Structure 1
Amino acid sequence: MYRLHKLLFLVLACSVQKALGGEIIKGNEVPPKSLQYMASVQNNGKHICGGFLIRKDIVLTAAHCDPKKNSNVTVVLGTHDLSKVNERTMRYNVKKCKHRDFKNTLNGNDIMMLKLSRPSTMTTIKLPKRNMKIKGNTPCVVAGWGFTRSNGAVVDKLREVNVATIDRRTCQQPWTKVKKTLPANIICAGGYRTDKGACQGDSGGPLVCNKTAVGIVSFNLNSDCTYPNVPNIYTEISKFVAWIDYPKKRC
């Protein structure tokens, strides 16, 4: 499992690879009151992952962001600066709904819904249609409060960076060299042939292409954000739209 502040990763059994959950690499601070759909998923009042508002009472994030033990998970919405949180209006208690087939990031299904204790007034972000395909080299944006360098620390102010998607065949090649087979239902973007990407603390945040949240930050290689190395991996949301839409099949 990940450690708060430092390792915000799910440590995979029998694997040196760890889940992605940190800050934006080579990005820029976003203007205040922008990206209102962005959520900070917190445990005991400390940021552990990103998330994003898809309905007035639902935040989507990564399944590996569930701390399980000694957890008091809440969501913060409505601020780009985590040092300025109005506890009464910005913090929400949640009910967790993790995909029942999730085991670890390398096996896929890294998706979780958080039902808010009350509706939010923040702007939601659009989701893709079922089984929508994202072409390689599509320009996208990823945002978060994660590390700005390997072994760094989470930041207070939300940051974003432009990345491009990578087709599956091109993506798998560098991962094969490190003896990893990628799971189904993922999108690759950033971290490969570029020094830009997500990092620890960004897990659960959205990959946004054409104003649509198409992916969820899932993992990178060995917590190493000194890019380029291998592509960053995102859960492909279009493959889970039915799971999101039908409550009886969610958890």
Structure 2
Amino acid sequence: MFSTLLVLLSVATLGCALHLPIGPEFLLKNGPIKRIYGGKNTPIEKIPWQVSLQNNGSHVCGGVIYSKNIIITAAHCVDKKNPRIFDVRVGSSTSNNGGSVIKVEKITVHDSYTSRSTVEYDIALLLLSSPLEMGPAVKAIPLAESVPNDGAVVLVSGWGRTDTETIAKYLKSVYANIVNREECARAYGDKQFTQVTICAASPGKDSCSCDSGGPLVYEGKLVGIVSYGFGCADPRHPGVYTNIVELRKWIKDEAKKLSSI
């Protein structure tokens, strides 16, 4: 079954978090699969809520501005790690320069994300050491209140792997379509996909490794966080995202707790 085969990895040699639903025997035979494909360069002013989560100055994951001092990202990017190793770069279209860099003060991972052998509840909040200066290139994004219908057009972005770059030099974005949850579950051989996940896909277009934690956006609101997938733009396997609508209350409650520290 899917749950027994799932392996989630952080690949330090690549400097990126990698979240893969594949078994170790596949990795040994073929090496790691790198999961934005088919996207285009996009200035940060068009996606001002996008951030680069960095470890020792290197981009490892994406993230999303929730408020002036809270960032949303994927749990597998930060789980069981010391927050002091992370910084967040905001307000720049490139992940390695420009904008502002702020240290991460504290990390909160969803309690139901118990280990790297699960993909449910793949979400974490980061408390920044100092508040962001908001502006045209640095803005919070509102949380969606309802899940888009199947087929709805959504936007995913990040500095992740492309068909020509291990890490994109310039922020990229791509449009995809919401995929029916049951159809997505069948694609992964798992009939137990819950409401905390949503899927999106489009021919030749997808998020990839190092896009993890980045935003999936519908009509200007955050509907998902990049979580995992099998390959990049694999036509048989849609990208899987953490469902922000289902976790909206958790985000609001935990952000309030973090902000009061």
Distance 2:123 2:26 in 1: 18
1:225 alignment partner in structure 2: 232
Q: Which blocks of at least 5 consecutive residues in structure 2 are unaligned?
A: 1-8
What is the root-mean-square deviation of aligned Cα atoms in Å?
3.0
How many residue pairs match? The answer is 239
Structure 1 residues 22 and 128: CA distance shift in structure 2, 3 A: farther
1:109 alignment partner in structure 2: 121
Q: In structure 2, what residue type is equivalent to 1:196?
A: K
Counting only pairs closer than 5 Å after superposition, residues 83-98 of structure 1 correspond to structure 2 as 83-85=96-98, 89-98=100-109
1:79 alignment partner in structure 2: 92
Matched-pair identity in %: 29
SS at match of 1:227: coil
Counting only pairs closer than 5 Å after superposition, residues 24-103 of structure 1 correspond to structure 2 as 24-66=36-78, 68=80, 72-85=85-98, 89-102=100-113, 103=115
2:149 alignment partner in structure 1: 135
CA shift for structure 1 position 199: 0.4
- State the Cα deviation string for residues 181-212 of structure 1 (Å, max 9, x = none): 53541110015xx1111000000001001111
Q: In structure 2, what residue type is equivalent to 1:81?
A: T
Q: What TM-score do the two structures reach when normalised by structure 2?
A: 0.81
Please say if residues 35 and 232 of structure 2, whose CA atoms lie closer than 8 Å, have aligned partners that are also in contact.
no
Distance 1:59 1:165 in 2: 24
CA shift for structure 1 position 8: 2.3
Please say if residues 63 and 215 of structure 2, whose CA atoms lie closer than 8 Å, have aligned partners that are also in contact.
yes
Q: In structure 1, what residue type is equivalent to 2:10?
A: Y
CA shift for structure 1 position 100: 1.6
Q: In structure 1, what residue type is equivalent to 2:111?
A: R
CA shift for structure 1 position 45: 1.4
Q: Which blocks of at least 5 consecutive residues in structure 1 are unaligned?
A: none
- State the Cα deviation string for residues 156-199 of structure 1 (Å, max 9, x = none): 210000101011122122212xx6853541110015xx111100
- State the Cα deviation string for residues 18-58 of structure 1 (Å, max 9, x = none): 9x997800000002533111110111111110001011111
SS at match of 1:197: coil
- State the Cα deviation string for residues 57-86 of structure 1 (Å, max 9, x = none): 111000000164577011111101123235
Confirm or deny that 1:168 pairs with 2:175. no
Q: What TM-score do the two structures reach when normalised by structure 1?
A: 0.84
Confirm or deny that 1:125 pairs with 2:132. no
SS at match of 1:239: coil
